[in-house]
């Protein structure tokens, strides 16, 4: 059984690694940061892109019943009236008159301590709408008000008829998209877990009403398996089905996928059966017919929708946390050493292959390694490093999750040597080394890196 105790020390170590190695930096760092905003550095940007690419590939490209979309962040303000966000997308807010801080009322307990001493002196609860507002165009008035979308889903609903007619899809079919969403969260926190600007990967899967229960169950399974296939520890991933009184009035079912983060369980994704609520509301508010004509039964139906809605930043962080290991090993000198290794699935690793000349001061080794690097860059995520002892370089790549290191040494370039034309291949997880001919590297690496 995994040890499922919250672990602050582990959390600090991972946040520290993120900054030190260029996964995630505090946003606007040179200005002292902007509260709860984070910038993905070179490794983090690639890791996040790999997560999105895997989602797009497996959920859209490889499925004949799915298509993709990239809708605008700004949408007609009526969208948010129809969706219910203008009226109901709010959290209960209270202010403390003593410490002047704001809280989500549902996160305070009667014995929550006030930093100004004693317990809080709270105002009445008021509803705080989480949508960010801005003005579109040069004239600022009521009609120029627009919102930064709080979810990508509505971009899919308003395009349902466009997509269905242009692609001539029959039910069931789904539309997926990945993009930024914005919520003025009252208490953003826990690194990239809850922020005001984040990315979502959302699917709206349209079905005939009588098929919705089956499709809902299938999507829960599909999305659960997606996280497992990419390596999340099954003991740290659980499904939580919502109780009837937790469901929105229009929803028929909802299951959250939760991961055990260093502070405890947190939601990664929700899969909901939203019935025909969204399409019906948009039909009502836009005056457009959003029903689907079924050529087989010759009837018009407003499709039900199953919505698997995940957070890119949360998934990325979960993969990072899950991959983090500290191994202890006995060094060649007999000393006990700790090795930090990110056991990321090779399809997610931000650098898949590191090419290393054994020695920096031997131009012939560096030149051959550079040549190899250039060739491999066309096919894999490759890095080159000539600095420091080879053992230390291996450790640096372990720490960022690089599955394979290739070392170019004298045998590689010495004509007549029986190892001529081969490199040392070192495996991140087992630390085992073997010689592989450069000519065979593509086949070898494709297999090791799970490239199909
Ligand atoms: N369209 C449905 C919808 O947006 P949600 O549960 O509000 O549902 C879906 O959001 C996912 O988006 C969550 O499971 C989470 O992964 C991510 N998410 C939501 N709010 C977030 C925030 N403030 N910061 C980071 N990710 C967030």
The answer, yes or no, to whether any atom of ligand 1 lies below 6 A from the CB of 309, is: yes
Atom 12 of ligand 1 has which residue's CA nearest to it?
A: 311
**What pLDDT shows up at residue 1?**
57
Picking from 81, 77, 105, the residue whose alpha carbon sits closest to that of residue 91 is 105
**What pLDDT shows up at residue 2?**
65
Mutate to test the pocket of ligand 1, among 181, 202, 309 (most ligand atoms within 8 A of CB): 309
Dist. CA 247–CA 361, nearest whole Å: 65
Asked whether 383 and 402 are in contact (CB, 8 A), the reply is yes
Picking from 273, 288, 274, 306, the residue whose alpha carbon sits closest to that of residue 158 is 288
Q: Judge if the upstream peptide bond of residue 172 is cis by omega within 30 degrees of 0.
A: yes
**What pLDDT shows up at residue 109?**
86
Q: How far is the CA of 202 from the centre of ligand 1 (A)?
A: 10
Chain Cα centroid distance, residue 218: 21
Q: Can you list the residues of the chain whose pLDDT is less than 50?
A: none
Angle 246-251-255 from CA coordinates, rounded to 5°: 60
Q: How far is the CA of 200 from the centre of ligand 1 (A)?
A: 7
Q: Which ligand 1 atom is at minimum distance from the Cα of 193?
A: 25
**What pLDDT shows up at residue 140?**
75
Give the alpha-carbon dihedral of 191, 197, 198, 199, to 10 degrees.
-160
Mutate to test the pocket of ligand 1, among 104, 151, 186, 277 (most ligand atoms within 8 A of CB): 151
Q: How far is the CA of 63 from the centre of ligand 1 (A)?
A: 24
Q: Which ligand 1 atom is at minimum distance from the Cα of 309?
A: 9
Q: How far is the CA of 197 from the centre of ligand 1 (A)?
A: 11
**What pLDDT shows up at residue 334?**
84
Mutate to test the pocket of ligand 1, among 183, 220, 242, 270 (most ligand atoms within 8 A of CB): 270
Q: How far is the CA of 50 from the centre of ligand 1 (A)?
A: 19
Q: Find the length of the chain.
A: 452
Q: How far is the CA of 22 from the centre of ligand 1 (A)?
A: 25
**What pLDDT shows up at residue 38?**
98
**What pLDDT shows up at residue 333?**
81
**pTM of the complete model:** 0.96
**What pLDDT shows up at residue 191?**
96
Q: How far is the CA of 195 from the centre of ligand 1 (A)?
A: 10
The answer, yes or no, to whether any atom of ligand 1 lies below 6 A from the CB of 358, is: no
Q: How far is the CA of 101 from the centre of ligand 1 (A)?
A: 24
**What pLDDT shows up at residue 332?**
73
Strand partners, 200: 179, 311
């Amino acid at each position: 059984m995994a040890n499922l105790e919250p672990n602050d020390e582990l959390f600090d170590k991972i946040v520290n690694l993120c900054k030190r190695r260029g996964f995630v930096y505090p946003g606007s760092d040179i200005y002292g940061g902007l509260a709860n905003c984070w910038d993905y550095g070179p490794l983090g940007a690639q890791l996040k892109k790999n997560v999105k690419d895997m989602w797009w590939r497996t959920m859209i490209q490889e499925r004949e019943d799915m298509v993709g979309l990239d809708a605008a962040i700004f949408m007609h303000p009526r969208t948010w009236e129809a969706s219910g966000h203008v009226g109901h997308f709010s959290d209960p807010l209270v202010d403390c008159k003593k410490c002047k801080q704001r809280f989500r009322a549902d996160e305070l307990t009667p014995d929550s301590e006030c930093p100004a001493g004693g317990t809080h002196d709270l105002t009445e609860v008021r509803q705080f709408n989480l949508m960010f507002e801005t003005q579109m165009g040069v004239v600022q008035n009521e009609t120029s008000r627009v919102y930064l979308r709080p979810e990508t889903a509505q971009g899919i609903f308003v395009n349902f008829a466009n997509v269905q007619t242009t692609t001539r899809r029959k039910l069931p079919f789904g539309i997926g998209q990945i993009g930024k969403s914005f919520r003025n969260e009252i208490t953003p926190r826990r690194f990239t877990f809850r922020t005001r600007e984040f990315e979502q990967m959302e699917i709206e899967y349209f079905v005939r009403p009588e098929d919705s229960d089956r499709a809902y169950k299938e999507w829960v399974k599909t999305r659960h398996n997606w996280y497992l296939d990419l390596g999340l520890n099954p003991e740290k991933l659980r499904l939580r089905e919502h109780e009837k009184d937790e469901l929105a009035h229009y929803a028929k079912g909802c299951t959250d996928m939760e991961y055990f983060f260093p502070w405890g369980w947190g939601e990664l994704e929700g899969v909901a059966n939203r019935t025909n609520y969204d399409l019906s509301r948009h039909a009502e508010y836009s005056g457009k017919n959003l029903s689907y004509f079924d050529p087989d039964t010759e009837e018009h139906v407003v499709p039900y929708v199953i919505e698997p809605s995940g957070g890119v930043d949360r998934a990325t962080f979960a993969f990072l946390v899950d991959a983090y290991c500290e191994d202890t090993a006995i060094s060649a000198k007999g000393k006990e050493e700790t090795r930090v290794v990110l056991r990321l699935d090779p399809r997610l690793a931000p650098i898949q292959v590191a090419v290393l000349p054994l020695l920096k001061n031997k131009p012939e080794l560096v030149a051959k390694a550079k040549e190899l690097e250039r060739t491999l860059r066309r096919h894999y995520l490759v890095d080159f490093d000539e600095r420091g002892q080879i053992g230390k370089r291996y450790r640096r790549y372990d720490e960022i999750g690089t599955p394979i290191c290739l070392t170019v040494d004298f045998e590689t370039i010495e004509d007549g040597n029986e190892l001529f034309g081969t490199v040392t291949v070192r495996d991140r997880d087992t630390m085992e080394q073997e010689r592989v001919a450069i000519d065979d590297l593509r086949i070898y690496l494709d297999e090791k890196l799970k490239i199909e």
